[in-house]
Amino acid sequence: MPKMKTHRGAAKRFRTTASGRLKRKNPNQRHILTSKSRKRKRHLRQPDYLAGADERNMKRLLPYL
């Protein structure tokens, strides 16, 4: 059986943690930052983790991560 292909777009956006969860960056940090509060921008820098239902679908796209 041939190797499975990794979805390259997903591979650039997600990292696996030591426990196997998928970590991603929060959105809304690129532009129009003047209208967002300092606290909001600071919290957006923290990593976010995928929900369980989404994680199952992403594991299919990322077989070797």
Domain that holds residue 55: 8-61
Instruction: Print the SS3 string covering 38-55.
Output: HHHHHHHCCCEECCHHHH
Return d(Cα 65, Cα 50) in angstroms, integer.
14
Write the CATH number for 42: 4.10.410.60
Tell me whether strands 14-16 and 22-24 are parallel, antiparallel or unpaired: antiparallel
- Residue 16: its pLDDT value, please? 93
Output the tens digit of pLDDT for each of the chain's 65 residues: 899 999 999 999 999 999 999 999 999 999 999 999 999 999 999 999 998 889 989 989 999 88
HSE, CB side, 13 Å, CA atoms: give it for residue 13.
13
Q: Return the pLDDT at 65.
A: 82
Q: How many independent structural domains does the chain possess?
A: 1
Structure tokens at 25: 């960056």
Asked if the structure places residue 36 within a domain, the reply is: yes
pLDDT given at position 8: 96
In this structure, is residue 1 part of a structural domain?
A: no
Q: Is residue 19 part of a domain?
A: yes
